[in-house]
């Protein structure tokens, strides 16, 4: 994008330089020649006036009286009815010639060498060229600055849209003072909020439906098991058949829920959690240090999980930001391998979460400290989008745990895969 903006701006500068430079150069060359011609014409007119006075007083023409008006290196030619007079050296080839008539039936001609005029024209042309180059250079600097001012915000907005597509619905407060791009950023924030609410409602609905169906199927299963133990053979047979259908229905429900979870986590990939957490810790040490606090990293080597790098990075960033804003003392970022999961812990030494707020910490729009109440809700949504979960495992002091599905070699059909970590 920056290259295209730069090329377009430089093309406009080049066209402007050519369109303005050529006429300006031609006009400058013509102006030098006109000034020289005008000076020769003025001198010839002055000489003609002096010679007319000599002729009118019936004196012989004396060119010595007018030699001061003849330019250096030029030749003066005076033609009268009786005689032609010449003063000065030969001006060479292609001289500049100016003639004026005399009142007393004659002409005064001055022929000046063209070399000095050509030299002045070359100097003026060089000056015009220098101005054009200076203008082009200034335009190039302006083009580079303009391209950077437009390209960087465009890349930022594109990255924001990519994060939104990856499931990061957090608003981005950064604006670029470009009205059009700022409107796009506002629209992305509004879309992110709407998508977050939509996804959350969908997950809540799926959870509620799943819970209700499981409860009803469990009750139905118990009733059918009781009927399957009846003495009547026909009742037992029908109950057994119904019990088999109920079990199949429960299996279909499990398959649908597993498919929904897998669809949400389709962007997850085998990820080196140890490397990613080290990068995140390096980013957050300075902000914590600025507040007089420290960050302790306790991560085992070789922790491999299935997750989306951007989602996990944003989730850990939300938890560390929460510890920075609402916690106290040392912040600990730890990771270990659990039973079939990789567990990431973020804790601090503060007073923790009040008991009355514990049930609501992950609800969107709820905050006990005057913030927006969006971060933790979105962090949980990001983790759940990859098939994991986020829990408040300890209220005082606060400890949040992220449970990620462990990566296995058969995650990609048994083909060996390469562990990749996100760039800093």
pLDDT averaged over consecutive 10-residue blocks of the chain (424 residues)?
72 79 82 87 88 77 80 86 83 86 84 86 85 82 77 80 71 79 83 74 70 79 79 80 82 71 62 91 91 91 86 89 89 89 91 83 63 68 83 90 79 42 38
- pLDDT for 418 equals 41
- pLDDT for 374 equals 59
CA dist., res. 171 & res. 220, Å (int) = 46
Instruction: With beta carbons less than 8 A apart as the criterion, state whether 355 and 369 touch.
Output: no
Q: What is the DSSP string of 170-217?
A: -------S-HHHHHHHHHHHHHHHHHHHHHHHHHHHHHHHHHHHHHHH
CA dist., res. 158 & res. 172, Å (int) = 12
- pLDDT for 345 equals 94
Sequence-distant contacts of 185-188: CB under 8 A, at least 24 apart: 185/157, 185/160, 188/157, 188/160, 188/161, 188/164
- pLDDT for 188 equals 83
Terminal C-alpha separation, the chain: 23
Alpha-carbon distance values, 244 to 232, 237, 250 (Å):
18, 11, 10
- pLDDT for 229 equals 79
Please give the structure tokens belonging to residue 367. 């905050």
CA dist., res. 251 & res. 226, Å (int) = 21
Instruction: Tell me which residue of 75, 70, 76 sits closest to 89, measured CA to CA.
Output: 75
- The alpha carbons of the chain give a radius of gyration, in whole angstroms, of 45
Q: What is the DSSP string of 45-65?
A: HHHHHHHHHHHHTT----GGG
- pLDDT for 423 equals 39
Instruction: Tell me which residue of 52, 83, 88 sits closest to 69, measured CA to CA.
Output: 88
289 alpha-carbon distance from chain centroid: 29
Give the H/E segment covering residue 401. strand 399-405
Number of other residues whose CB lies within 10 A of the CB of residue 26:
12
């Amino acid at each position: 994008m920056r290259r295209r903006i730069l090329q377009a701006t430089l093309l406009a500068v080049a066209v402007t330089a050519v369109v303005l430079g050529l006429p300006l150069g031609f006009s400058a060359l013509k102006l030098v020649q006109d000034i020289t011609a005008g000076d020769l014409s003025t001198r010839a007119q002055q000489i003609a006036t002096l010679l007319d006075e000599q002729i009118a007083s019936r004196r012989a023409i004396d060119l010595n009286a007018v030699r001061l008006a003849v330019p250096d290196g030029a030749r003066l030619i005076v033609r009268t009815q009786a005689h032609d007079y010449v003063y000065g050296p030969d001006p060479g080839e292609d001289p500049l010639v100016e003639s004026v008539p005399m009142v007393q039936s004659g002409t005064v001609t001055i022929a000046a060498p063209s070399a000095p005029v050509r030299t002045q024209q070359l100097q003026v042309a060089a000056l015009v060229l220098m101005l054009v180059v200076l203008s082009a250079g200034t335009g190039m600097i302006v083009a580079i600055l303009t391209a950077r001012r437009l390209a960087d915000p465009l890349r930022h907005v594109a990255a924001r849209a990519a994060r939104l597509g990856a499931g990061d619905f957090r608003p981005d407060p950064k604006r670029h003072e470009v009205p059009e791009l700022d409107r796009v950023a506002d629209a992305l924030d509004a879309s992110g909020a709407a998508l977050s609410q939509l996804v959350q409602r969908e997950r809540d609905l799926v959870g509620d439906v799943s819970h209700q169906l499981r409860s009803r199927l469990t009750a139905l299963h118990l009733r059918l098991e009781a009927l399957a133990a009846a003495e009547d053979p026909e009742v037992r047979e029908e109950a057994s058949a119904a019990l088999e259908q109920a079990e199949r229905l429960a299996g279909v429900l499990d398959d649908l829920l597993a498919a929904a979870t897998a669809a949400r986590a389709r962007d997850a990939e085998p990820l080196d959690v140890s490397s990613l957490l080290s990068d995140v810790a390096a980013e957050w040490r300075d902000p914590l240090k600025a507040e007089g606090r420290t960050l302790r990293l306790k991560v085992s080597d070789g922790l491999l999980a299935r997750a989306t790098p951007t989602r996990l990075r944003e989730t850990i960033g939300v938890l560390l930001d929460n510890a920075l804003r609402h916690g106290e003392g040392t912040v600990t970022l730890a990771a270990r391998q659990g039973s079939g999961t990789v567990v990431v812990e973020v804790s601090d030494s503060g007073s923790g979460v009040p008991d009355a707020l514990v049930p609501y910490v992950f609800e969107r729009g709820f905050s006990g400290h005057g913030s927006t109440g969006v971060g933790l809700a979105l962090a949980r949504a990001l983790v759940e989008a990859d098939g994991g979960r986020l829990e408040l495992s300890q209220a005082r002091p606060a400890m949040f745990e992220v449970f990620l599905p462990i990566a296995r070699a058969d995650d990609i059909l048994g083909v060996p895969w390469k562990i990749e970590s996100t760039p800093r």
